Structure 1
């Protein structure tokens, strides 16, 4: 998951944040970044370059096609994780929040095993992922 997210930004990020959800048979994911000290969504990567006054004329390819490809690969990875958990009789996480520090080559992950969003009819995996993004953004200021 981290590898495809790193590839998506051409290895040009400080941190990668990956959100994975699996509840009631529903698989979902999201990902965002810390680039040049800014917390940015995957479709707004170039905003971090504009604000940093990018000198090397580099720009990220944030096309919908590339975003969908990353989401698909992460979903496949989640399916593989579910398969492995079942095969080895392990509890399947309902939520995973990963933070990969690119420069330090360190991965931190927080796992939950209880239902997170399906217990509230007003919640979705996307809304939970969005709140995490906003939390990281606030904490970074």
Structure 2
């Protein structure tokens, strides 16, 4: 049991770490959306910086005047998503190995100041049984929900 939980935690930590690296450790909070449903893998990430909620490609909008900008090129963004998706695959393999249910959805939140980590998991189908919504829609809705709850 301990090996499973340690492995699971380590992979989630890796997702947070790569997102922190993307913003050069300048975020107040990191949000990671990870999805694995019916063979579809998807992920996204966003931040709270200076009390502003921003998607990864817009982090420079939240920086203070005079702060050095962050490289938010698509290439860097895709590298982060590749690593997160790799971690999702490893979690899927870990769940299979230990005969545990694989979450269809993981919402990870890391509060940098408090060092507090929160995770929400779903095990039911979230979007593959929906005619319109994709994982991208769900991740976008979560971003809007978080943003509007903190205004």
Identify the TM-score tier after normalising by the shorter chain: over 0.9
TM-score, normalisation: structure 2: 0.89
Structure 1 position 35, deviation (Å): 0.4
Superposition TM-score, scaled by structure 1 size = 0.95
Partner residue of 1:81 out of 81, 91, 99 = 91
The CA deviation at 1:137 is 0.7
1:126 to 108, 133, 136: 136
Q: Please name the residue that 1:110 is paired with.
A: 120
Answering whether residue 147 of structure 2 is matched by residue 137 of structure 1, we say yes
Partners of 1:135 and 1:65 in 2: CA distance? 27
Inter-partner Cα distance in structure 2 for 1:67 and 1:82: 23
1:10 correspondence with 2:24: yes
Let me know the Cα RMSD of the aligned residues: 0.7
Alignment correspondent of 2:57:
43
Unaligned runs of 5+ in 1: none
Displacement over 6 Å in runs of 4+: none
**Could you give the per-residue CA deviations for residues 89-126 of structure 1, whole angstroms, max 9, x where no partner exists?**
00000000011001111110000000000111111000
